[in-house]
Amino acid sequence: MTARVHVLSVPGGQPGPPGVLLVDPAGARIPAPELAEVWPFDPDGEGGSVAAARAAGSGWGYLDHTGRWRVAPVLDEAKRLAWPGGLARFRQGDAWGYVNARGEVVIGPRYREASAFSHGLAAVRTGRKFHYIDASGDVVVEGPFKPAGPFSALGLAAVRTGADRPAGYVDVEGRMAVEPRFDDALLFGAQGAAPVRVGDRWGLIDTAGGWIVEPRHARIDEFGEDGLAYRIEAGRPSDGYGYLDASGRTVVRGGAGLSPVMACGLVRDDDADLRFLDRAGRPAFVGRFDWAEDFDPSCGACVARRGGRWGVLDATGRFRAVPFREPVTTAGGVVGFGPGQGVAPFLDWEGTVVFVNRAAEVVARLGAGGPGPAARGGPPVRPDSPGTAAPRPLPAVLRPGPDEHFLVPEAQNGGVVGVATGLLAAEPVRFYPYSLVFGGRRSVADVSGLGGDGAEHLHTGSMLVLAESHVGEELWGTYRFLADQEGGAFAAYFADLAAQLAGHFGEPECDTVRLRNGDGNTGRVWYVNGRRLVLEVYTHCGDGDFEHQLWLAALV
């Protein structure tokens, strides 16, 4: 049985060494040097595993499952093992070579470019031409090729004899099995079909170069492990998406929301309510999801959201909710189950990071202050060495709460009556309720340069933005549940603050003032000592993004 290692890291996350932790499946930390980056671990063929890794403040090397260096971190670059075969590329200076899983240099660094081994052969460049070598470094398929793709299980590789020349396919004997006549050519699938492009259209050919599907598609991807290739029909922008089998038959159909990634025999379909389809295009599970990532083929699971709760979905359709706030995101994207890692990071309610496996069991958590219990009784893992700073909490992105929304802590913590009293007593000034969607954040007292529609929103008195939320186009387009979630949060804030103000100032008028017209406003107005006290939720959508703001103002 191969030793399994979880690589724990949070992209763009917590500072201080070590940046990456190694943990075994039971959650025990594997002693290792300080690491800045680690590729997934691959089997070494002897019951262990090995990964390319970069040491903090140093170079690349190869690390085994016990945390020891098999190749010291003195390399300029290192890549994953190609399994089976067990050779990995590394770069020393300007030259590439190959190392085996035991850390032995099998082929010294002598190539200007080198590809991963595929089915026993790798394309390498010496001078200006590519040729293919075997695991001993012997040239077995002479070029010249410019460039050269990987060999498939069928013993064919896509090549060009010049950068601007047509593409064809060469066999392991060096014979041109399919004459170069294509503008682009991709890898042959195990069933004997390959996508090729002529002009701006894609088709499928067989191993003799005959057409299975003549070039008429706008896109055809390589065949995956499930034996299907994603394709887009030309001229059908709404429903021309799907998957082809090796005979060219469309077996899965969908719209633009059909994912181009099929794994574990499942593909995500987000054209209406999110669901998963099987290889025959049938719904795989009962029920719909608020959101889900593509399945990770290495662990057979994905991060998903159902009924407002985050959790882990496995390939059998079982959804396990987790008691955590949200999955970790980077640049607006859920990190999820990284390739070969088998764990996904979530934020707990304190803002620290918790890693769970495909069964939604806690493997480890990143905390501070030395050993301690993980969430829900999970195993203890702490990332910091003595003297290092505690990791800072990560911000919530997909489930922000009052701490992220409120700009005036007193209003959040039951003090809105005091805030209102201060506004009613303040010296009147001209103010402008800004829009996050149109114009961006600015001081409400900044009324310079306003004209036209802007002048219509000028008021006299005093105003505070108590809370706000702005969801951009990319975030909203990916996580559509945010619209209802954020709207519901601000409706709850409004109801709570309106009740507090009514308890002090009496019953309000229903809604007689708009500080600024939006796509959906809710307001309450009280007359207090000759001024109008206005509590208002402002909602606006535009250009794919939306905002909510909670305003409190005293108008003269």
Helix (H) or strand (E) holding 537: strand 531-542
The model's pTM: 0.87
| Helix, strand, coil fractions of the chain, as percent rounded to 5 | 10, 45, 45
Residue 452, in any domain of the structure: yes
Domain limits at 520? 402-555
pLDDT per position in the chain (556 positions), as tens? 567 888 888 665 443 334 788 988 888 889 999 999 999 999 988 889 999 999 988 999 999 999 999 999 999 999 999 876 679 999 999 999 999 999 999 999 999 999 999 999 999 998 889 999 999 999 999 988 988 999 999 999 999 988 889 999 999 999 999 999 999 999 999 999 999 999 999 999 999 999 999 999 999 999 999 999 999 999 888 789 999 999 999 999 999 999 999 999 999 999 878 999 999 999 999 888 999 999 999 889 999 999 999 999 999 999 999 999 999 998 889 999 977 778 999 999 988 889 999 999 998 887 543 333 333 334 444 333 333 344 556 789 999 999 999 999 999 999 999 999 999 999 999 999 999 998 888 899 988 877 666 677 899 999 999 999 999 998 998 999 999 999 999 999 999 999 999 999 999 987 778 999 999 899 999 999 999 999 999 999 988 899 999 999 999 9
List Cα–Cα distances, 171 to 124, 224, 421, in angstroms. 16, 21, 83
State the pLDDT at residue 434: 92
Assess contact for 515 and 440: CB atoms under 8 A: no
Residue 163, in any domain of the structure: no
State the pLDDT at residue 382: 39
Tokens of 211: 């057409």
Q: What span, in angstroms and rounded, lies between the C-alpha atoms of 22 and 30?
A: 5
CA dihedral of residues 276, 278, 284, 287 (deg, nearest 10): 20
The secondary structure of residue 40, as a DSSP letter, is P
Residue 465, in any domain of the structure: yes
Assess contact for 65 and 3: CB atoms under 8 A: yes
Q: Please, how many CA atoms are within 13 Å of residue 50, restricted to the half-sphere of its CB?
A: 28
Helix (H) or strand (E) holding 305: strand 301-306
Q: What span, in angstroms and rounded, lies between the C-alpha atoms of 74 and 54?
A: 9
3-class state of residue 410 by DSSP: helix
Residue 494, in any domain of the structure: yes
The secondary structure of residue 445, as a DSSP letter, is T
Quick check: bond before 147 cis, omega within 30? yes
Residue 170, in any domain of the structure: no
Residue 374, in any domain of the structure: no
State the pLDDT at residue 15: 39
Which of 13, 41, 16, 18 has its CA nearest to residue 29? 18
Q: What span, in angstroms and rounded, lies between the C-alpha atoms of 171 and 173?
A: 5
State the pLDDT at residue 21: 86
Residue 470, in any domain of the structure: yes
State the pLDDT at residue 84: 66
Residue 443, in any domain of the structure: yes
Radius of gyration of the chain (CA): 29
In sequence order, which residues have a C-beta less than 8 Å from that of residue 367 and are 6 or more positions away? 352, 374, 382, 383, 391
Q: How many domains does the chain have?
A: 1
Looking at the chain, the number of H-run helices and the number of E-run strands are 6, 44
State the pLDDT at residue 18: 44
